[in-house]
Amino acid sequence: MDTFSFAQSVSLDYPLSIRIVNLEGDETPQKESTLIKRPELRHIGSNTSPFSDLYVTVQVWAGSKPLTVPVQTSYKAFKNERSWNEWLDVPIPYKSLPLNSCLAITLWDVSPTGGKHAQGHAIPFGGTTLPLFDKDNQVQKGRLKCMIHRHQKADGNDGTTTPFAVPKRRQGSKKNELVAVDKERDEMDRMDKLFKKYEMNEIPKVEWLDHLVWRVSERRASEATKSSVKSLQRQASLRQEAGKSPEQNGSVDTEHDAESGPSQFTLTIELPRFDFPSNIDIKPPPEVQFGPGINGTAGGSSRIVRIYDPEVAAKDNPAESKHRRLVRSQHRHGILDKDLRPNAKVRDELNTIMAYSPTHTLTLEEKDLVWKFRYHLTKDKRAVTKFVKSVNWEDQSESKQAIQVLAKWTEIDVDDALELLGPTFDSPAVRAYAVDRLSKADDNELMLYLLQLVQALKFEHISTDSRHPATEASSLATFLISRAVENFTLGNYFYWYLGVEWDDKSPEQGPEVRTMYAKVQYDFMRELESRPGGLETRQTMKRQAELIAVFSKISSPPCRPQDGDAHYRAAIAASIGSVGDDYWCCARGNSSLQVVSIADYGYVQDSIGGKYPMMFKTGDDLRQDQLVIQIITLMDQLLQKENLDLKLSPYKILATSTTAGASQFVPSQTFAHIAKKHRNNPVLAYLKQHNPDERADMGVRKETLDAFVKSCAGYCVITYILGVGDRHNENLLLTPDGHFFHADFGFILGRDPKPFAPAVKLSKEMVDAMGGSSSDLYLQFKQYCSLAFAALRKSSNLILNLFSLMVHANIPDIKLEPDKAVLKVQERFHLDLPEEEATRLFWSIMEDSLSAYMPVVIDWLHAKTQALRA
């Protein structure tokens, strides 16, 4: 007999917690006639915007009585979807939950005019009630989707009117009975149950099949949502034809539902997972212990009773808030603070605060300390971001003081300016201060951060009204446009970055954001026309778009373009040039990906006369590869500033839409191809073939081996920091002159489709080409790795700030867990350790990767798979 492991809920001495994930669904907007009859409905948040502000309250009920006070989500402004991703701790442990306990979850909408079940200026958007134990008396766990009962507060009573799932019904035989039978929704419910089992590892994982199922499921979920709304519309029309009023059909909230459109909303939540099923332990009721006034003895003693007060953790203490306002009052302490100087102890505390990473949250005490010594800290450029975080920008008097102090601050670094342009800094004065610092950077430096600065436009207060230009309310948009029209390279990249964001029609990119980017692009073109030579530049960009359109259509046998298609200028190089007069296009591809390469006579020519071939890809989103290449280029610049040239060769890449892009073609060979041609020590044999030197120790020119060792060290460190995955011999490449580099960055931030993948890709072929792990070249390789890792740790704030600006971009591996993306990069820097210990830890990871057996097996299996496909 198989063993079955389980636990009793009485043994779970853990507090109940619930994660509010997101709200999905749609509803038909209110009719204009309804809004005219009832103008107070215009003031309800959900009637003005599909992503209006909501907050969620959760309360435990049992036996028609509340067991806890409600807990509430923190405020969050929504842009493209209502997503919280917030864990709430309910003040009751699992062991205290009775069998009939349930969670009453209510979503609250804003309504200044009040209404039914109103609490202050909030009315119920909808509610749902979830039992904490299922039909098998087991604790609910994992992800769950709860149906939202529109305009109703969650009913925690027995026989609730707001169940989290509608019981399945079939069309009855009674006269005029109208029951919706949504087979598509039933199928989605069945899939959700299977996905939950998949997340709980109750279903074996098959990587290639799982990806196909996920894509089909997402498409079917979208179709099911649309069909659900249509079904509701059909029901409403049928009710009208049958002559039934909303009250006859069981409408609960006639105040809102009498004339509102149909809706279908589901709230996704997540409960803690356990390794084993947890069953309720039903015990007889305990004996009643009366107080000393009834049956107590004379020796009884009083006990202190602790009562949970939610306001202590959820709200500011009024006394502390008043104290903070008095302390920061300019009339009381403004003049005295100018002469304050920290003592040795306080100076150490301030230095500790200054060393915090951009992701660190300051405590109230730390904020008060920074504010107190703000005038002293104006000499420290590291302190400006900490000072801005310590200011209460909702206090008009305090924000006015802060703006005056910012004007006296010493010039800050670019990484701090980029942090001030992030989503957490909303003050226009602060953002204008950051833009002023960026204006002092030259065009080459600005080019390194342009991708992130275009993303930062999402956090500007740019009106989508066409009557007001984007530059009217955004200092960042004004700055970028003014610099882009002066430099063709900068302007060309700016044009394509804006175009890709405008072209992104995914659910994460809302229509307001796309409209904003289209408006910025229009203002850029209009400003370009007003400059000398602007019309010619605009025409060049137009012809680029035409060329890209031609490439996108090429997916069949080789074709030669028309005579009028020559002399296009392509946005590929750092200095844009022109495509050759006579070029040859060839197409190749597998599955949905098509690669069009300009070969033979085709090339991209830069302004200094250099030429290189390029590839154009369709059917693939290159924005993630574009981000990685940009970060590698930046890291190369940072290393060279430290006099450490590691011979990196990041190729040029540009996404021209969400499904196409161009990439520089670097003449090179993959490790897999080299291994087929050379059996023994293939990499060294390949280098000998192209760079022989009989006088050298290993038979290869010294310059070639030096480039190989340095580039291997650089890419090992960089791919480790970025968490690049899916590394195999097909995407490790080597040029004839010894420059090693990586390609295909489809997996980053620690993601990898293969099990037990190493954190660093250091293959045996690389070490053998250096002469083995005991050779002098390998020791040099280790030294270069240590120097590179230490140098990049010094610039960790800049790299983290660049990733924080990309959190809201539709980068596949970032949008999976946007709240953890920056933290994943930060973990690779090991900023909590001193430099020496961090370097030792990095090297222990490198040595483990080199000695691991699984990567060798993975490479062998990958080679066999590719051979079978060929």
CB contact at 8 A, 478 and 636: no
Residue at 842 is within a domain: yes
CB contact at 8 A, 681 and 771: no
CB contact at 8 A, 528 and 491: yes
The span from the CA of 681 to the CA of 700, in Å, is 13
Please tell me the predicted confidence (pLDDT) of residue 740. Answer: 95
Strands 732-734, 660-664: parallel, antiparallel or unpaired by DSSP?
A: unpaired
Residue at 844 is within a domain: yes
CB contact at 8 A, 162 and 127: yes
Whose tokens are 């580039």? That residue is: 711
The span from the CA of 434 to the CA of 415, in Å, is 10
Q: Which of 60, 108, 105, 102 is nearest to 82 (CA)?
A: 108
Please, how many CA atoms are within 13 Å of residue 663, restricted to the half-sphere of its CB? 27
Q: Which stretches of the chain drop beneath a pLDDT of 70? A: 1-7, 9, 113-116, 167-186, 188-189, 196, 199-201, 221-263, 275-316, 330-336, 465-473, 555-612, 852-856, 858-859, 862-870
CA 714 to each of CA 624, 741, 770: distance values in angstroms, whole numbers, following the listed order: 20, 9, 15
Q: Are residues 646 and 682 in the same domain?
A: no
Q: Are residues 448 and 394 in the same domain?
A: yes
Residue at 837 is within a domain: yes
**Residue 121 burial by Cβ neighbours in a 10 Å radius (0-12, 13-18, 19+):** middle
462, 489, 516 — which closes off a domain? 489
The span from the CA of 374 to the CA of 337, in Å, is 8
Six token digits for residue 754: 């293969």
The span from the CA of 765 to the CA of 845, in Å, is 18
What amino acid occupies position 553? K
**First CA to last CA across the chain, in angstroms?**
48
The span from the CA of 341 to the CA of 349, in Å, is 13
For the stretch 775-785, what's the b/e string if a residue is b when 16 or more beta carbons lie within 10 angstroms of its beta carbon?
eebbebbbebb
Q: Are residues 619 and 671 in the same domain?
A: no
Please tell me the predicted confidence (pLDDT) of residue 561. Answer: 44
Contacts of 256-260 with CB under 8 Å at 24 or more apart are 256/115, 256/116, 256/150, 256/151, 257/150, 257/151, 259/30, 259/31, 259/34, 259/37, 259/38, 260/27, 260/28, 260/30, 260/34, 260/150
CB contact at 8 A, 443 and 487: yes
Q: Are residues 433 and 553 in the same domain?
A: no
**φ, ψ at 764 (rounded to 5°):** -65, -35
Residue at 289 is within a domain: no
Residue at 184 is within a domain: no
CATH number for the domain that contains residue 617: 3.30.1010.10
pLDDT digits (tens, 9 = 90+) for 208-225: 777 777 777 777 766 666
Q: Are residues 129 and 164 in the same domain?
A: yes
Q: Are residues 651 and 781 in the same domain?
A: no
Q: Are residues 353 and 274 in the same domain?
A: no
What amino acid occupies position 258? A
User: What is the helix (H) or strand (E) element at residue 349, kind and residue range?
Assistant: helix 344-354
CATH number for the domain that contains residue 93: 2.60.40.150
**φ, ψ at 192 (rounded to 5°):** -60, -40
Residue at 393 is within a domain: yes
The span from the CA of 387 to the CA of 376, in Å, is 11
Please tell me the predicted confidence (pLDDT) of residue 587. Answer: 40
Whose tokens are 């480790």? That residue is: 720
Residue at 587 is within a domain: yes
Residue at 243 is within a domain: yes
The span from the CA of 75 to the CA of 394, in Å, is 15
The span from the CA of 806 to the CA of 795, in Å, is 18
> Dihedral sign, CA of 158, 159, 162, 168?
positive
Helix-helix angle 443-456:488-503, to 10 degrees: 20
Q: Are residues 89 and 159 in the same domain?
A: yes
**φ, ψ at 26 (rounded to 5°):** -155, 160
279, 294, 315 — which closes off a domain? 279
The span from the CA of 338 to the CA of 163, in Å, is 61
CA 372 to each of CA 35, 202, 358, 366, 393: distance values in angstroms, whole numbers, following the listed order: 52, 56, 21, 10, 16
Q: Are residues 428 and 483 in the same domain?
A: yes
Six token digits for residue 175: 């006269």
Residue-number span of the structural domain to which 776 is assigned: 667-794+830-870
Q: Are residues 388 and 271 in the same domain?
A: no
Q: Are residues 571 and 458 in the same domain?
A: no
Whole-model pTM: value is 0.62
DSSP string, 299-336: T----PPP---HHHHHS--HHHHHHHHHHT-IIIIIHH
Greatest CA separation for the chain: 109
User: What total number of domains does the chain contain?
Assistant: 4
Q: Are residues 755 and 836 in the same domain?
A: yes
Sheet architecture: strand order including 263-271: 82-93, 15-27, 263-271, 142-147
CATH number for the domain that contains residue 450: 1.25.40.70
Whose tokens are 């359109």? That residue is: 549
Please tell me the predicted confidence (pLDDT) of residue 506. Answer: 87
489, 519, 548 — which closes off a domain? 489
